[in-house]
Amino acid sequence: MQSSYELTVGKLKRTLPIIPINQTTAIASFVLLGDAELAHYAAIELTKRITKPFDYFVTIETKGIPLAEEMSRLAGRQHYVVLRKSEKLYMRNPMSIQVKSITTTNVQHLVLDATDADLIKGKRIILVDDVISTGGSLVAAEDLLNRAGASVIGRYAILAEGDAGNRKDCDYLAQLPLFSLADVETDLGQH
């Protein structure tokens, strides 16, 4: 029985708790927020892999933000764009698209403010996120960016979870397995 997973990303190691997400499956819960060392290290390693000219990084709220900020700094970019998960009162003519993620129970939205849409129109975009799993969020993000007139030329993540490790359209630093609840020990004492 396993209650945690030892993650290795290059020279860094993290112990992640295994958390059930439904009746049959659990994930190793990776939270980039607050882990400045890992965000910086991953940004360095991922930025080294960028081979095509690009204009902006775009990420999805929330956990990809530290990665996008670090990668922007390293690549000499003054600005990056965050696709928000809900409309904000300050947004001007926001564009949105629905998305379903493995870690959320409800349908969510990705929202792009018109100010950011104007900024990225006709530009080359690199999408970055902390973890890619089913790929639903990245597909929705790319659809939204295409609607705004931008062109996604690369996809980068720190981790590829489950079958995402087989993807050829996204570069990542390490794989993260999915777990069967039958094989993990939870805090609730369930097997």
pLDDT in the model for residue 182: 81
Q: Which residues pair with 176 in a beta bridge?
A: 161
Question: Angle at which helices 65-74 and 36-48 pack, to 10 degrees?
Answer: 50
For the cut 80, the answer to whether the pLDDT of residue 173 exceeds it is yes
Closest CA to 182 of 20, 35, 16: 20
Please tell me whether residue 13 adopts helix, strand or coil conformation.
strand
Biggest distance spanned by C-alpha atoms of the chain: 53
Q: Tens of pLDDT along 138-154? A: 999 999 999 999 999 99
pLDDT, tens digit (0-9, with 9 covering 90-100), for 71-105: 999 999 999 999 999 999 999 999 999 987 666 66
Per domain, the residue ranges of the chain are 4-183
CATH of 4-183, one of 3.30.43.10, 3.40.50.2020, 3.40.630.30, 3.30.70.20: 3.40.50.2020
Question: Against a cut of 0.85, is the pTM above it?
Answer: yes
Residue type, 155: R
Phi, psi of 136 (to 5 degrees): -60, -40
- SS3 of 139, please? helix
